[in-house]
Amino acid sequence: MNTLQRLINKVNAKQNFTYNLTNNRNRYIVSIENVYNGSNPSIKFDLITKVSKIIETTNFDSLGGWFDVDDKTYCLDLNIHLSDLTTALKLAKVNKQTAIFDSKKNLVIYLNNI
């Protein structure tokens, strides 16, 4: 099974994941651009085309999927990875994000807790 199909399978199953698009392995992951937000990604028929284009040409560090348990929606976002927590939190705030992800501690850091 190829990479694109594995990613689409994760999205359709509403799994949490991060797929690195670059070699940047900085610790703090901040979502910058939303690719999909909804309750049923499997019926978003152009999603495979969008994800394919992202994999081929991107200025982002990763593609990440996560299920929002509060509003029961699945989100697929393009992210950048930063080494500095303060910068990551500021960037998240500017981009109206509710949280960032600490990949070293495997921890979601909510902005309202800061």
The pLDDT of residue 55: 82
pLDDT of residue 114 exceeding 70: no
The whole-model pTM stands at 0.88
pLDDT tens digits, 51-97? 998 888 778 999 999 998 889 999 999 999 999 999 999 999 999 99
pLDDT over 80 at 1, yes or no: no
Give the residue from 96, 68, 99, 78 showing the smallest Cα distance to 34: 78
Residue 78 · residue 42 · CB < 8 Å: no
Closest by CA position to 66, among listed 22, 19, 3: 19
Q: Under DSSP, is residue 74 helix (H, G, I), strand (E, B) or coil?
A: strand
Count of alpha carbons within 13 angstroms of residue 12, beta-carbon side: 13
Residues 8-45 have pLDDT tens digits of 999 999 999 999 999 999 999 999 999 999 999 999 98
